[in-house]
Structure 1
């Protein structure tokens, strides 16, 4: 039988420790799954920050995202109605009378593999609302735009985007003066 010397024993231990150290370096953290276009699809809940001039409100809103469309079953129209109907009491009555306003936003998606995100380029259509006030219905058309792309972030599975109501037309007349309304969805998650 061979006898191990102290130096051979220390060399063997050093090799084992080195092996464990190198192995642990190769599995440093969770594996990041590459994002796909289909990852955007789902039901979302998120914070909506609405800003018009100095007024700022925050609400939680739900919406759906499918293949190429974001669908709201209740698009927030309070600020729009309050801009068209100046009397606060009549504006609240009109908001109740209008009820839920459905709105869909078309988008095209592309994967940005370097940042592990899906970029969304929006093509919003005008939002048309019939606002009842003083026994008359005012046909209101809201011109919505997306000044920047939206993003589905693969790391945390969140959707982020913003829209701006840049102009409002009431019965064919552009509303002036008018302060644009910003709809910011800074962090929306699937539920």
Structure 2
């Protein structure tokens, strides 16, 4: 008797759930200007088998994403090598601002704005033993980014594919990935 009562209860609950489902999903319309705003982002920086996660903030406005504190620790480690000197150099350098250019295109089928990145090189002066290492980081946007209308989030990534120090490329060098898988507007 208990089995039949439980079975009836489960079937009734299932019927209620099916009746209450709404198949009239209406996507939230997006516009290119919706990308503009201040974001709080999950940032994953990885190189080879190692990676770090943290929360970072940036602003998107008029086809430019501006980071007030772009992550450069892995870049400095590639140049300096000595862990103690890396921390000293990072402290002396302070926060690094970086502007990432993009073009945008509306994708009405997916209710998204597609971003194509046009990164400029990042020029750094890294202090090491009383001298400055002129460092140029070649960044690339290999994948499109997306502003998603459903949850008003932005998702993108770029890579550092080459580092030049005083005109010479660091070799061997393993690319550094900068992934921002989930960025929410503040």
TM interval, shorter chain, is 0.7 to 0.9
Separation in 2 of the partners of 1:103 and 1:139?
16
1:109-168, Cα deviation, whole Å (9 max, x unpaired) = 010000000000110000001000000000000000011100000001000000000000
- Give TM-score, length-normalised by structure 1: 0.84
1:32 equivalent among 24, 27, 31: 27
Q: Aligned residue for 2:136?
A: 141
Report the Cα distance in structure 1 between the residues aligned to 2:29 and 2:185, rounded to whole angstroms. Answer: 18
Alpha-carbon RMSD:
1.5
For 1:150 and 1:156, the matched residues in 2 are separated by: 15
Partner of 1:50: 45
User: Which SS does the other structure have where 1:139 is aligned?
Assistant: strand
**How many angstroms apart in 2 are the aligned matches of 1:33 and 1:124?**
30
CA distance in 1, matches of 2:47, 2:100: 21
Paired position in structure 2 for 1:68:
63
User: How many pairs are equivalent?
Assistant: 167
Q: Which residue, out of 103, 112, 137, partners 1:108? A: 103
SS at match of 2:85: helix
- Distance in 1 between residues matched to 2:26 and 2:144, nearest whole Å: 27
Distance 1:91 1:29 in 2: 56
User: Where do 4+ consecutive residues of structure 1 move more than 3 Å?
Assistant: 27-31
Once residues 81 and 139 of structure 1 are traced to their aligned partners in structure 2, the CA distance between those partners, rounded to angstroms, is 11
| Structure 1, unaligned runs of 5 or more | 1-23
CA–CA separation in structure 2 for the residues paired with 1:28 and 1:52? 44
| Structure ID, larger Rg | 1
